[in-house]
Structure 1
Amino acid sequence: MKSTFPSSLLKTFGEAPDVPAFEYGPRVVKRSEVLDLVARYTGGLRALRANLELGDSIAIYTGVTPDGFAVQIAAHVLGLRVVSLKPGISTAQLSRIVADTKILIVDEVTRSEIESSLSIAPEVVGLGNLLGDASDITPQGRLEDTALVLFTSGTTGDPKGVEFSYAALTEIWTWQRSAWDADTELMGARYGRFLLFGTLGSVVVLQQLGLCLISGGTAVIPTTPFPLLKFPHVLSDLRISAVLFTVPRLHRVLDILKTDASRFDLSHLRSVFVSGSPVPSRKLREAIEVLGDVVFNGYGTSETNLLCLLSAADTKEHPDAINTVGRPFAGVQIQIRSDSGDILPLNTIGHVWVKSPGSFSGYTNEESASVLDPNGWIWTRDLGSLDDRGFLHLTGRARDIVIINANVYYNGAIENALSSHPDVDAAYVVSIPDDKTGEAAAAFITTTAKERGPDLDALRELVKEKVSPAAVPSVITVIDSVPIAPSGKPDKQALIGLISKDT
């Protein structure tokens, strides 16, 4: 039986104490030093007047630092329920999220945001004041208790608190090297210098960080604030071997490299892991042409961790696989179900249901019965099909829709149709009110035809042919770049706001 999380991390660090775990500007933090920080934060948490007990809930709201990571691990050592927050959260959301926690831990980066809020219920504790006497770091967590709460980006509605138990964190593959196969070991070998930025309050970031640390790599944290980071400059300057990209960031990096690649030394780069939203097949092909076999397209959800992986090698062996999100990762099971729940045959579009080690146990602020069945299967809210080689084809999100004349059309299908045209670099579709049809599709595109402009009539014909005449966008707007939400994903609410300003 596996020891409770974070036992595997502590054991790995103890076996290689002199190997750097983090590089934060000039500050290099060895694994032994991280263990010391964890011990001292554990002691500090034990000494708080809040009298924290096993299973109590605390919130952690810090920047991406070695100390922010260490205090979270210390909280898990004590078996606490950790609510991990992303920087940039609104004051109203913050107040609601931390209302039932005993303490809120902040650092110099986030304290000013807390001080601007007048309605924070728990005691606010500065990270610098938590360093106490070193304490025993034998993990105390109970498998059935909630270990971690992360909040989704709100792609399908308001952000949801996704709860992971100590049993789930103990099963997550990235933190359990004993569960790795040869392919996973090869992937881990690419993570010698992993660029860590943005937030620790993300399941995909934590997964990538685990792959780096457990494989013996170093997490490199830029000292430049995340919003000001320049790509691909930082990859070259810090000799990065592995990086996590959202799709919009991939677009921007490719645009720069296509015009001025000679300025950047990317010879150290071994893995560009693209995740967060679908990658148009043409853009993925371009990424492989520009960056080589270092490109990986990962598909997963906040509730499930990584589900499928598509590598450059997959697309070389199966060229048409570039239109998919890859094959199920080790330990992942996938079913395609009908609206009534029946399992559908191969090559049939339906609802994507998955079963994966380390999946969530429920939501904090929303019922989960509709997405989590009694047998542990999870509805991803995505639509797709499995082919006879095991590749998963996605066709859209079940709730990312536009209802036109009482007929449902999936925005993903419209985006795919638009993106198939050579004039379109990327496409984003939202639903807007319409007096005649109830709702209409509105499209926003970035274009490859910057001088002459895109052929809008041809784009409309593509949607008419591939989706439906009714699904043709009522307006197609050319934008220089898509607005990015704090999650790093395309901000469709901001796009709707652009329409409001124009009208």
Structure 2
Amino acid sequence: MTDGTTAQPVPDTRPPLRGTFASLGDALAAAAEQFGAREAYVDGGERISFADWNRQADAVAAELAGRGVRRGDVVALMLPSGVEYAVAYAAVLRLGAVVTGLNTRLGPQETHAVLDRCRPVLVIRDDEAGLPELPRGQLAITRCELAAVRQSGACPSTLPALTLEDPAVIIWTSGTTGTPKGAWYDHRGLEAAVWTSGVMSAPFDRKLVATPFAHAGYMAKVWDQLAWGSTLVIGQVPWKAAEMAEILRTERITVAGGVPTQWAKLLELPDNGRSALPELRLGISATAPAAPELVRRANEVLGVPLVVRYAMTESPSISGTEPQDPPEVQFSTVGRPQAGIEVRVVDEREHPVAAGTTGAVRVRGTAVMRGYWRDPERTAAALDDGGWLHTGDVGRFTEAGDLVLTGRSTDIYIRGGYNVHPLEVENVLSEHPEVARVAVVGTAAPVIGEIGVAFVVPRDPAAPPELAELREFSRRHLADYKSPDRLELVDALPLTPMLKVDRRALRASAAAG
């Protein structure tokens, strides 16, 4: 690690899916043949096997082809996480089209911005979920229509011969201006997830998942599921410790993720020791690292190690801790690069720095996005000529080779696993009639990692807006998780010498408040 770069070799362990495939659709067909009746998804009362998944994807692909979907077209999914989403996802890719997902919590402004950027030929959506209206003239299939098509038994008459370089998925994130950016991946990028998974995947795992399917945790990892023959069990919403424990037991879960507080509540339940969860082999600390004492207790009570993963929409695999790492490493670092991934920390001239020196974090590997969809300018800013992704994060390597993140070069904060850009929220709140000026910053919070704090200069100090009022106002335009959690009324916003809002001062005030 003398040059400030670390990388892990691809492991020799081979997944149970046999064969070489040119596309995810081919991998699904092979998984259906090799794994057959083995469960692929458990979604409440619905269970489907790999064979069911493949057959239903064929039926939906035939319907999409009949509606004019062709190779290279974009199809958008506005569906909840679950079996329907998985079937539609596979159907789109089987036709050589490009699939993208929209979080069902997005507001009208965000939804229209994404659709305008990707221009789908078709949208598959839940018409009864109160989702934003589609632009006039946009072709769509409803969730009810999809349910009927899934069981039709139809098959596409012809399928294109795809290559690993064909575009496959677009995953959306917010940019520094609040406008959406679509990180896109080809089939080779999806295949790379198989080799970067490390301890996260073992043959025929049963994984309890809570990540929305429209996010990178699912969109970029489906090939990994196919290769390892994993069963995905969809977690219940809202979350309850007793219900999670019941799912862990009855579904024989081997890998489960949760925020630190959820793990702590799980440990408080009676009769929940190792004998009650004999199948569970790995826990993932989501949103924030688990405190050392929590890591120790999880090992002692459940007999399960907790690990941390560092990833982003533009690179769903970056680094992670290992089960044998001591609790202090699990808490203070994001571990070492995953297999097939290079990570370096550089100075202002892009030169790697020595261990212990703080710099900008760069990432390179097949699992990294190919660019931003139809956005060459921002692609050029994110990916340099050497193929290194500029993550926007700042960090340092320890002497042992673990990466420590020390901050972000942007103002984005992460609330409950969701990226929130303050400018986007500010642009909405500034339109409220009782708001003269507003600035939003993130601050640390238990359970969900960070929350948004809105500093507001009221238009009339005698009649300032209330938090509930601002939250409701923002929800009319944006996803609910972007609404501010706290309101601080101020006479004026602090300014830097350059007359810009002093966000550092606001963050300090939010933390102290």
Normalization by structure 1: what TM-score? 0.71
Q: Does 1:390 align with 2:406?
A: no
My pick for the range that moved more, 125-134 or 334-343, is 125-134
Residue 161 (structure 1) aligned with residue 188 (structure 2): no
2:202 counterpart residue number: 189
> Equivalent residues in 2 for 1:47-86 (5 A)?
47-48=66-67, 51-86=68-103
Contact 2:113 2:180 in 1 (8 A): no
CA shift at 1:52, angstroms? Answer: 2.1
Whether 1:172 and 2:192 are equivalent positions in the alignment is yes
Match for 2:207: what amino acid?
A: F
Could you say what secondary structure the match of 1:368 adopts?
Answer: helix
Residues 150 and 244 (structure 1), Cα distance of their counterparts in 2 relative to 1, 3 Å cut:
farther
For the residues of structure 1 that align with 2:160 and 2:80, how far apart are their CA atoms?
25
Choose the corresponding residue for 1:363, options 361, 368, 372. 372
Structure 1 residues 334 and 445, CA gap change in structure 2 (3 angstroms)? closer
Match of 1:339 among 319, 332, 348: 348
The range that moved more, 304-313 or 156-165, is 156-165
1:124 alignment counterpart: 140
Q: Deviations over 1:149-190 (max 9, x none)?
A: 111267995543211123322x3232xxxx58xx94x65337
Partners of 1:331 and 1:356 within 8 A in 2: yes
Q: Is the 8 A contact 2:295 2:305 kept in 1?
A: no
Q: Distance in 1 between matches of 2:134 and 2:440?
A: 41
Aligned to 2:505: none
Does structure 2 retain, via aligned residues, the 8 Å contact 1:58–1:81? yes
Equivalent residue in structure 2 for 1:376, among 382, 387, 392: 387
User: Of residues 110, 115, 120 in structure 2, which corresponds to 1:93?
Assistant: 110
1:321 and 1:391 in contact (8 A); partners too = no
Map 1:58-457 → 2, pairs under 5 A: 58-99=75-116, 100-107=119-126, 111-114=128-131, 117=133, 119=135, 121-126=137-142, 127-128=146-147, 130-131=149-150, 133-135=154-156, 140-152=161-173, 157-169=178-190, 171-174=191-194, 179=195, 184=198, 187-189=200-202, 192-206=205-219, 210-222=223-235, 224=236, 226=237, 228-237=238-247, 238-245=250-257, 249-254=259-264, 256-262=265-271, 265-277=276-288, 284=295, 287-288=298-299, 291-315=302-326, 320=329, 322-364=331-373, 367-400=378-411, 443=443, 445-446=445-446
On the 8 A contact 1:213/1:219 being kept in 2, the answer is no
Q: Evaluate the alpha carbon distance shift between residue 96 and residue 206 of structure 1 in structure 2; reply closer, same or farther with a 3 A threshold.
A: closer
CA distance in 2, matches of 1:312, 1:490: 35
Q: How many residues align?
A: 412
Work out the CA distance in 2 between the residues paired with 1:274 and 1:190. 22
Q: How far 1:373 sits from its partner (Å)?
A: 0.8
Other-structure match for 2:484: 494
CA distance in 2, matches of 1:200, 1:137: 28
User: Residue 195 of structure 1: CA displacement?
Assistant: 1.8
Report how far residue 210 of structure 1 moved: 4.6
1:71-130 C-alpha deviation (Å, 9 max, x unpaired): 2111111111212112211122112222311111124xx54334x526354212122354
Aligned 1:2-13 pairs, distance under 5 A: 2-13=21-32
Letter in 1 for 2:65: R
Q: Secondary structure at the match of 1:113?
A: coil
CA contact (8 A) 1:143 1:166 kept: yes
Letter in 1 for 2:251: R
Instruction: Kindly indicate whether the alpha-carbon contact (under 8 Å) linking 2:23 and 2:163 is maintained by their aligned counterparts in 1.
Output: yes
Structure 1: unaligned runs, 5 residues or longer: 402-410, 413-429, 448-484
User: In structure 1, how many angstroms separate the alpha carbons of the residues matched to 2:341 and 2:301?
Assistant: 31
2:433: which partner in 1? Answer: none
Which residue identity lines up with residue 70 of structure 2 in the other structure?
A: E
Query: Could you report, residue by residue, the CA deviation over 1:37-91 in whole angstroms, capped at 9, with x for unpaired residues?
Result: 011111111111xx22211111111122223211211111111121211221112
Q: What displacement does 1:251 show?
A: 1.4
Residues in 2 aligned to 1:490 and 1:299: alpha-carbon distance in whole angstroms: 25
Q: SS of 1:311's equivalent?
A: coil
Amino acid at match of 1:123: L
In the alignment, is the contact (CA less than 8 A) between 1:190 and 1:270 conserved in 2?
Answer: no
| Letter of the structure 2 residue corresponding to residue 192 of structure 1 | D
**Greater shift in the superposed pair: 267-276 or 369-378:** 267-276
Q: 8 Å contact 1:146–1:164 — kept in the other structure?
A: yes
Contact 1:242 1:270 in 2 (8 A): yes
Shift of 1:142: 4.7
User: Residue 418 of structure 2 corresponds to which residue in structure 1?
Assistant: none
- Which structure has the higher relative contact order (CA within 8 Å, separation 6+)? 2
Identity over aligned pairs, percent: 22
| Equivalent-residue separation in structure 2 for 1:104 and 1:93 (angstroms) | 15
Which residue of 1 is the match for residue 42 of structure 2? 23
Question: Which structure 1 residue ranges, 4+ long, deviate > 6 Å from structure 2?
Answer: 153-156, 430-433, 438-442
What's the CA shift string for 1:292-338, capped at 9, x where partnerless?
4331211111111121121231227xx55642111111111111111
Amino acid at match of 2:253: S
Q: SS of the residue aligned with 2:353?
A: coil
1:240: Cα distance to partner? Answer: 4.5
Asked if 2 retains the 8 angstrom alpha-carbon contact of 1:55 and 1:80, the reply is: yes
Distance (whole Å) between structure 2 residues aligned to residue 297 and residue 396 of structure 1 = 17
Aligned partner of 2:469 in structure 1 is: none
Instruction: Measure, in 2, the Cα distance between the counterparts of 1:117 and 1:78.
Output: 27
Contact 2:340–2:366 under 8 Å retained in 1: yes
Query: Is the CA contact 2:315–2:369 (under 8 Å) kept in the aligned structure 1?
Result: yes
Given that residues 57 and 81 in structure 1 are in contact (C-alpha distance below 8 angstroms), is that contact kept between their aligned partners in structure 2?
yes
How many Å apart are 1:24 and its aligned residue? 2.8
CA drift of 1:208 comes to 5.7
Tell me the secondary structure at the aligned position of residue 498 of structure 1. Answer: strand
Post-superposition Cα deviations, 1:176-214, rounded to whole Å, max 9, x if no partner, equal xxx58xx94x65337632123452111123456554443
- Structure 2 contact 165–188 (Cα < 8 Å) conserved: yes
> Would you say the 8 A contact 1:76–1:82 is kept in 2?
yes
Secondary structure of the 2:381 match is coil
Opposite residue 117 of structure 1, the aligned amino acid is E
Give, in whole Å, the separation in 1 of the partners of 2:162 and 2:128.
29
RMSD: 3.9
Structure-1 separation of matches of 2:108 and 2:480? 22
TM-score, length-scaled by structure 2: 0.69
